[in-house]
């Protein structure tokens, strides 16, 4: 991948943002660390100096110049260990009276009397670092009587420690940033690689191999979930395409027959030198045949529509009991006319989220089948059951039923059992119910009613 493309990628931008944020926080953290160590040492030096000045001023107040000089000499003697710097001079410009500094520093003190100065004079401390110029930190104090007192500390060592700390912190910062940058690159590279894998699969699929699937890493992370979802989507698309192909195959197969019959009928009517009545008869028969074809065609379209998934935004809350009552009301008289015992129990209740017309069509198909296949004086029952979050519409009859081994087949388009060849029907009724059930995340169960068929349309509610 080219660097330009890498920088344009979302992951690289994320990595850089992360790096910047991380860098700033580490910098703040280290700055605080520096302030609290080096700053602490510096403040402590000043505090020690202040304490000593207070002590020496007391000596002077109590014992006068002699006491002060004595105290300074005593302290200067210990200076090698304490790194103390002392100097007492007379009124400005006069020679040193006591102390381990040979000369009053040239640097001017600040308002508080503090100053940092170069120790280029031979002090009794000698040069601790060897060769280099030492720095002193001191405070000057004017005593009553024109004497000037300077108390300080050789801070070379302290500065060296501070420098060491600064150096360590700088290294720490550099290493942190380097590691973060490296980590960012590694992470974004691996993310990009996985996205690239998805892109590659998409390109392959667009190029025509629909059976390709996005590789799944197996860790169950977001990328895996994305890949799984994409794969499921591809499965669905593939199934839909297969369904479309099946439909067109079936349409070709099952509409060709009736169309051929229709054509033959017209042709033979034309060949017979019949009278007007004969023609009329032939035309009527042809219209009936065409109507049958249309019914089949509409049923196929309905199934295709249900299988393609009507837009779910068209779904409304459908009252199950009302739906069943409407079916019962519509088909009751038909059952009665056929002399059937028609029982309806819509005592269960619940709302189904779905397409009202398609659900009605599905139940109508089941009821129509039950009425059609029941023997004279048979019993047809419509029941509504509610179990937890499922609603079951149960349509049962005591007709011939469907043999167990054929129950999967009858859902297929145009499948009609031999025993039903003589009954009118397109062989599409149960296919539609099956498709409608699928559309609503439900299922169609075909059970033995001993004797007869018990068809259950189970829907979530």
Partner 1 sequence: MRALIIEDDAEAAGYVAKGLGEAGFVVDVVTDGRDGLVRAMAEDYDVAVIDRMLPGLDGLSIVDALRRAGNQTPVLFLTAMGAVEDRVAGLRGGADDYLVKPFAFSELHARIEALLRRRTGGDATVTTLTVGDLEMDLLARAVTRAGRALDLQPREFKLLEVLMRNAGHVVTRTMLLEQVWDYNFDPQTNVIDVHISRLRRKIDHGFDVALLHTVRGAGYSLRVPR
Binding segment for partner 1 (CB under 8 A), chosen from 44-52, 110-118, 188-196, 303-311, is 303-311
User: Which letter does DSSP use for residue 423 in this model?
Assistant: S
CA-wise closest residue to 170 among 23, 19, 42, 22:
23
CA distance 62 to 67: 8
CB-nearer residue toward partner 1: 369 or 396: 369
Binding mask 66-105 for partner 1 (x = CB under 8 A): ----------------------------------------
State the Cα torsion 32-38-44-50 to the nearest 10°. Answer: -110
- In angstroms, give the least distance from the CB of 299 to partner 1: 7
Q: Give the residue carrying structure tokens 């189970």.
A: 458
Per rule CB under 8 A, count of chain residues that contact partner 1: 31
The residue length of the chain stands at 461
Interacting residues with partner 1 between 429 and 448 (CB under 8 A): 429
Rg (Cα) of the chain, in Å, rounded? Answer: 50
Binding segment for partner 1 (CB under 8 A), chosen from 50-58, 142-150, 251-259, 323-331, is 323-331
Q: Which of 31, 145, 333, 339 binds partner 1 (CB under 8 A)?
A: 333
**305 near partner 1 (CB under 8 A):** yes
| Positive/negative CA dihedral, 265, 269, 275, 280 | positive
**244 near partner 1 (CB under 8 A):** no
> Are residues 180 and 19 in contact, defined by beta-carbon separation less than 8 angstroms?
yes
> Are residues 396 and 381 in contact, defined by beta-carbon separation less than 8 angstroms?
yes
Cβ burial of 71 (10 Å; 0-12, 13-18, 19+) is buried
Binding mask 346-385 for partner 1 (x = CB under 8 A): ---------xxx--xx--xx--x---x-------------
**337 near partner 1 (CB under 8 A):** yes
State the Cα torsion 322-325-327-328 to the nearest 10°. Answer: 180
**317 near partner 1 (CB under 8 A):** no
**289 near partner 1 (CB under 8 A):** no
Q: What are phi and psi of 389, to 5 degrees?
A: -110, 25
**331 near partner 1 (CB under 8 A):** yes
CA distance 445 to 457: 6
**329 near partner 1 (CB under 8 A):** yes
**421 near partner 1 (CB under 8 A):** no
**48 near partner 1 (CB under 8 A):** no
CB-nearer residue toward partner 1: 249 or 336: 336
Q: What are phi and psi of 101, to 5 degrees?
A: -105, 140
CB-nearer residue toward partner 1: 124 or 326: 326
- In angstroms, give the least distance from the CB of 24 to partner 1: 55
- In angstroms, give the least distance from the CB of 286 to partner 1: 13
> Are residues 414 and 427 in contact, defined by beta-carbon separation less than 8 angstroms?
yes
CA-wise closest residue to 427 among 326, 245, 292:
292
Residues forming a β-bridge with 134: 119
Interacting residues toward partner 1 by CB under 8 A:
287, 294-295, 298-299, 301-302, 305, 310-311, 314, 326, 329-331, 333-334, 337, 355-357, 360-361, 364-365, 368, 372, 424-426, 429
């Amino acid at each position: 991948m080219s660097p330009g493309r890498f920088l344009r990628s979302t992951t690289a931008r994320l990595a850089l943002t992360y790096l910047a944020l991380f860098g700033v926080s580490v910098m703040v953290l280290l700055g605080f660390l520096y302030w609290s160590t080096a700053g602490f040492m510096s403040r402590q030096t000043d505090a020690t100096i202040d304490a000593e000045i207070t002590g020496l001023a007391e000596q002077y107040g109590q014992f006068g110049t002699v006491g002060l000089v004595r105290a300074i000499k005593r302290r200067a003697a210990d200076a090698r260990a304490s790194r103390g710097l002392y100097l007492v001079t007379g009124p400005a410009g006069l020679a040193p009276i006591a102390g381990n500094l040979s000369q009053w520093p040239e640097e001017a003190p600040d308002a508080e009397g503090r100053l940092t100065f170069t120790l280029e004079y031979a002090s009794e401390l000698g040069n601790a670092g060897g060769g280099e110029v030492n720095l002193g930190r001191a405070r000057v104090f004017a005593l009553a009587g024109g004497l000037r007192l300077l108390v300080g500390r050789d801070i070379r060592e302290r500065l060296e420690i501070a420098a060491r700390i600064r150096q360590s912190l700088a290294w720490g910062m550099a290493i942190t940033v380097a590691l973060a940058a490296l980590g960012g690159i590694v992470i974004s590279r691996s993310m990009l690689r996985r996205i690239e894998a998805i892109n590659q699969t998409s390109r392959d699929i667009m190029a025509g191999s629909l059976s390709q699937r996005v590789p799944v890493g197996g860790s169950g992370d977001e990328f895996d979930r994305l890949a799984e979802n994409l794969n499921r989507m591809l499965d669905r698309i593939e199934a839909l395409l297969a369904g479309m192909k099946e439909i067109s195959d079936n349409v070709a197969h099952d509409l060709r027959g009736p169309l051929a019959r229709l054509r033959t009928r017209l042709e033979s009517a034309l060949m017979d030198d019949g009278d007007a009545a004969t023609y009329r008869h032939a035309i009527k028969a042809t219209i009936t045949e065409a109507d049958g074809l249309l019914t089949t065609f509409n049923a196929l379209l309905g199934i295709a529509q249900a299988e393609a998934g009507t837009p779910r935004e068209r779904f409304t809350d459908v009252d199950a009991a009302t739906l069943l009552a409407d079916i019962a009301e519509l088909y009751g008289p038909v059952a009665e006319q056929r002399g059937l015992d028609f029982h309806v129990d819509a005592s269960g209740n619940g709302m189904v989220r779905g397409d009202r017309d398609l659900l009605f069509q599905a139940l109508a198909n089941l009821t129509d089948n039950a009425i059609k296949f029941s023997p004279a004086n048979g019993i047809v029952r419509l029941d509504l059951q509610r179990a937890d979050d499922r609603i079951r519409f149960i349509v049962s009859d005591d007709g011939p039923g469907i043999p167990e081994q054929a129950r999967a087949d009858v859902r297929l388009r145009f499948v009609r059992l031999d025993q039903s060849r003589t009954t009118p029907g397109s062989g599409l009724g149960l296919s539609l119910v099956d498709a409608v059930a699928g559309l609503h995340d439900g299922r169609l169960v075909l059970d033995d009613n001993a004797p007869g068929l018990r068809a259950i349309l189970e829907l979530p509610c």
